[in-house]
Structure 1
Amino acid sequence: MEPPAICFDRSFTEVFDDIINTLLTERAQTEAEYDAFIEFGERISDQRLTSPSCSHADISGRAITAHQEYAQPQAPTRLNLIRSAYQDTVMNLPFYTDEYDDTYFESISEEFGSEIATALTTPECFGPTALNALFNRIETAKSERQNHIDACDRERDSIETAADRLIPIDQELSTLTTVNFDLQSFGALDAHHNRLSILTDHCESAAQTRQETIRKHRDFYTISQEDMDVTAYFYREYDITYPVLAMCSDLTARITRFRERIERTVISSPE
């Protein structure tokens, strides 16, 4: 199910709940992928796949290398076992089709690289070197998932910090919608105006903190400014790429409108 659009006609509590649920789903799916790659690696560690003899003599006494043995008729069987293991683990995750919707070759190309994908689908190219490279790429895939899980946790911490700062501002501004500034004394209007200035500072501080978190994400993943950063990836299905920054902007705009109303009231009030 796609996450809802970020609509600021809802309370910020609801918006932040949606964001956190998105992160929890992303983390759960990434953890499931991590576990699937572990299971895949264990499945293909079976002795049928990993313990061919290094060499043996044929009836003529000539040595047959391990590479030659892999290229013998059992190679298709080994590749079928690998394919079945991959399809039964990684590609069998309940969300796989919705998230990726690709073929076996496309999937292994994305995960392990085109050379390994070719080796895993071409018996003549399959041998111990390709198998060892596959195991190395499985470890890389697991490491990438673990890094993404850690990123999900860091992002959730950042979102919860932002929620603690922005939700009270949203709630305070909501109460101001019921205030009739025309009936307020000059002292009350001045107090409101000063308070709004403080809230503006809080919004700017929250936005700066959030931008710093986004920068740290980019630095951790060594992402260029032209590439999609992990923060944008988290909210790729939303209609706003950086929802927290958008909320800061929304609050700042609302504060500005209140301040302008107060200033107009003060100017138009009789002395």
Structure 2
Amino acid sequence: MSNTETSQPRTEQALAVVQREIDCVEAELTAFRRFRTQLVSIEPPARAAGTVDTSGGGMSALSARQPKPDTNLRAVREAYRETVMAVPHFEAEYDDSLEANMSMEFGPELGTQIATGTRLTPQLYEALLTASERARDERETLLPALERERESLQSVRATLDNCERRGAALGANARRTTDPARLDSIDNQLAEIESECEAAAATRQQQLHGRSTAALSGVDGTSLVRYLYDDCPVTCPALADTVACLETLRRHRRHCIVSTR
């Protein structure tokens, strides 16, 4: 590596993970908003007074075939396929059937009723409206958290790049001199950079410990960092790059100290 080249491989990988997640959540948020808009236009007719809803019961023994779903229920299924199941990453991330995906998003009972039932009752419709709003709201909450994580990673990367460039230049200067006063001056400058690096690490730690996404669907009590980076080589990528930068700075400082003895 040259004196001016910098490298934060774990942070770069983390940024790619976060950006991919942001893209997915943005697409899903738009999809659920569109789904709810379509859902509002499919409101089923109210049940007539004195009638009994038998759509949830079992089929008569005399029935020869499964009755077809009503127009409203078919419209709901089609709207879901055209919105939520049409996001660009659906096949790669989920690749579910209608029933499986609705059950994951809305709960197994509601998902099964929508995917396999025969009538969109007013009660079922209201439950679906509420569930779709919850799915939308969860993504509206998650998206800003992901954007803050991206900003935090970008800040760490910029700090480490700056520290590495300055540290590399000072380290090279230290190896070109044997003057004790000059080496002391270089060591003092390296110590200042080391302090900046440590401050960046402390800020990052505060951000990590202050973040909890336990209330968000799909995270369920784990931290945002674990949710994002569980499949990465390290679960705290920015801190890992910070440690590597500190080790390099301290190596330069040891050279200065040893050379003045």
TM-score, structure 1 as length reference: 0.77
Residue 48 of structure 2: which of 25, 35, 55 is its match? 55
| Counterpart Cα distance in 2 of 1:119 and 1:80 | 12
Q: Does 1:101 align with 2:88?
A: no
- Which residues of 2 match residues 197-212 of structure 1 at below 5 A? 197-212=191-206
> How many angstroms does 1:188 deviate by?
1.3
| Counterpart Cα distance in 2 of 1:21 and 1:69 | 48
> How many angstroms does 1:123 deviate by?
1.8
Greater displacement, 244-253 / 149-158: 149-158
Code of the aligned partner of 2:197: C
Q: Does 1:79 align with 2:73?
A: yes
- Which residues of 2 match residues 167-206 of structure 1 at below 5 A? 167-179=161-173, 181=175, 183-206=177-200
Query: 2:107 maps to which residue?
Result: 113
| Counterpart Cα distance in 2 of 1:201 and 1:180 | 19
- Which residues of 2 match residues 2-151 of structure 1 at below 5 A? 11-12=6-7, 19-20=14-15, 22-47=17-42, 50-56=43-49, 63-65=50-52, 67-68=53-54, 73=67, 75=69, 77-123=71-117, 127-151=121-145
> How many angstroms does 1:138 deviate by?
0.6
Q: Describe the superposition over 1:136-194 as per-residue Cα deviations: whole angstroms up to 9, x where unpaired.
A: 11111111111111112222332233234222101112224533536331011111222
| Counterpart Cα distance in 2 of 1:177 and 1:193 | 9
Q: Describe the superposition over 1:184-228 as per-residue Cα deviations: whole angstroms up to 9, x where unpaired.
A: 31011111222222222212211111111112222x5459xx954
Query: 1:266 maps to which residue?
Result: 260
Code of the aligned partner of 2:249: I
> How many angstroms does 1:243 deviate by?
1.7
Greater displacement, 35-44 / 178-187: 178-187
Question: Structure 2 stretches of 5 or more lacking a match?
Answer: 60-66
Q: Secondary structure at the match of 1:241?
A: coil
Code of the aligned partner of 1:151: A
Question: Structure 1 stretches of 5 or more lacking a match?
Answer: 1-9, 57-62
> How many angstroms does 1:76 deviate by?
5.1
Residue 242 of structure 2: which of 243, 248, 252 is its match? 248
Number of residues of Structure 1 aligned to a counterpart in Structure 2: 246
Residue 213 of structure 1: which of 207, 215, 218 is its match? 207
| Counterpart Cα distance in 2 of 1:180 and 1:205 | 24
CA distance 1:75–1:83, change in 2 (3 Å):
same
Residue 166 of structure 1: which of 160, 166, 177 is its match? 160
Code of the aligned partner of 1:244: A
Q: Describe the superposition over 1:33-67 as per-residue Cα deviations: whole angstroms up to 9, x where unpaired.
A: 111011112223334xx2313215xxxxxx214x3
RMSD: 3.0
Query: 2:62 maps to which residue?
Result: none
